[in-house]
């Protein structure tokens, strides 16, 4: 098996612009709120030649970026399922990475894409012309693989988590390193900005803590403990009051980020929960696991609303579309699935 803690990315993405595709099944559902509509499989995006570790929606909901163990970043038109760029082996392609790609992230304005992977480097690409990709910035300093990248809400800064046990904050405009946050004994699996941009959350692969940092000073604001083994993924609620996490103990937890108390413990997964994503409307949480399932939860009461199956053995990334209507899932079978 590949590196045990390869970023398993299962992405849930809802897009108002997504055209109806070939529906081919849904998933099992438990009772939930009447406003929730069960998702159906709409599209399958193929083209990657190895595990797809990360997917991210463009802010306008029209495009999807993906990063894979095949060393490439690809950009898709989600409305019709077409691959806009096969970003390999041609000028302007996003193929500078010399190893698997663990994470991709769009800037809030949709003009830039960040990618990080096994070559220890973060690259920022100009994708304002969606059919061409131009390398804009190379951020160096990490001493091991980059597992996670995330843009600040304002779009000026970029955060990264690495196997070198550090979290780093960069000025994305000029590539200057602003902060290096330390304290982890091993790799940092995931980083996520609070919606107001004042705080940054991070989680480590081999400890049970989630750290919340003050971005300006680099000091600890809160440490969330008691996750029972490693934490794989974190996601803020849209109002910035709560944090969700998934981990090695097969559970999902929802925390009050202000006082560090556990509000919900969601059980049912049979293997590691490697990706969690809060819907932009704040009503649902999606969790993707190595048990081949994605589960959608009502965050108000912890009710399981739907279980999506047949997602390719190990689910690696989940991400909701900006309008909270569709879901993108990437996994170890090299395929990206769109549900809606």
71-121, pLDDT tens digit by residue? 888 999 999 999 998 654 323 345 555 668 899 999 999 999 999 999 999
> Does pLDDT of 184 surpass 90?
no
Give the tokens for residue 338.
Answer: 């769109």
Listed by start position, the domains of the chain span: 27-339
User: What's residue 227's pLDDT?
Assistant: 72
Residue 96 is predicted with a pLDDT of: 56
The residue among 230, 268, 229, 238 whose CA lies nearest residue 252 is 268
Least confident interval from 30-34, 146-150, 202-206, 304-308: 30-34
Q: What is the three-state SS of 61-126?
A: CCEEEEEECCCCEEEEECCCCEEEEECCCCCCCCCCCCCCEEEEEECCCCCEEEEEECCCCEEEEE
- Which token pair is 179? 């902060």
Residue 18 has pLDDT above 50, yes or no: no
Q: How far apart are CA 27 and CA 39, in angstroms?
A: 8
CATH of 27-339, one of 1.10.540.10, 2.130.10.10, 2.40.340.10, 2.60.40.10: 2.130.10.10
Task: State yes or no: pLDDT of 65 exceeds 90.
Answer: yes
DSSP string, 150-177: EE-TTSSEEEEEETTS-EEEEETTT--E
Residue 98 confidence (pLDDT): 62
Q: Whole-prediction pTM value?
A: 0.86
């Amino acid at each position: 098996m590949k590196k045990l803690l390869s970023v398993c990315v299962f992405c849930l993405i809802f897009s108002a612009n997504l055209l109806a595709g070939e529906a081919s099944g849904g998933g099992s559902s438990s009772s939930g709120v009447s406003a929730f509509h069960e998702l159906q499989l709409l599209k399958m995006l193929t083209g990657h030649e190895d595990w797809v570790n990360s997917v991210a929606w463009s802010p306008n909901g029209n495009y999807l970026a993906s990063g894979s163990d095949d060393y490439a970043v690809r950009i898709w038109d989600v409305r019709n399922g077409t691959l806009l760029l096969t970003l390999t082996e041609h000028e302007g392609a996003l193929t500078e990475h010399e190893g698997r790609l663990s994470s991709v992230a769009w800037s809030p304005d949709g003009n830039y894409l960040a990618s990080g992977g096994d070559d220890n480097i973060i690259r920022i690409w100009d994708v304002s012309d969606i059919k061409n990709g131009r390398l804009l910035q190379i951020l160096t300093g990490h001493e091991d693989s980059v597992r996670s990248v995330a843009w600040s809400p304002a779009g000026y800064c970029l955060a990264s988590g690495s196997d070198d046990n550090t979290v780093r904050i960069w000025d994305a405009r000029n590539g200057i390193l602003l902060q290096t946050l330390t304290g982890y004994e091993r790799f940092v699996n995931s980083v996520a900005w609070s919606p107001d941009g004042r705080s940054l959350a991070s989680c480590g692969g081999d400890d049970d803590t989630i750290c919340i940092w003050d971005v300006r000073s680099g000091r600890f604001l809160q440490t969330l403990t008691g996750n029972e083994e490693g934490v794989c993924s974190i996601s803020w609620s849209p109002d910035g009051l709560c944090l969700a996490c998934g981990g090695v103990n097969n559970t999902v937890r929802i925390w009050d980020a202000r006082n560090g108390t556990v509000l919900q413990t969601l059980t049912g997964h049979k293997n590691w929960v490697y990706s969690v994503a809060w819907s932009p409307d704040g009503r649902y949480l999606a969790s993707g696991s190595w048990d081949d399932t994605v589960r959608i939860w009502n965050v108000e009461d912890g009710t399981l609303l739907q279980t999506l199956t047949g997602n390719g053995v190990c689910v690696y990334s989940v991400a909701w579309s900006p309008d909270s209507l569709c879901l993108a899932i990437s996994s170890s079978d090299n395929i990206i699935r769109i549900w809606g």
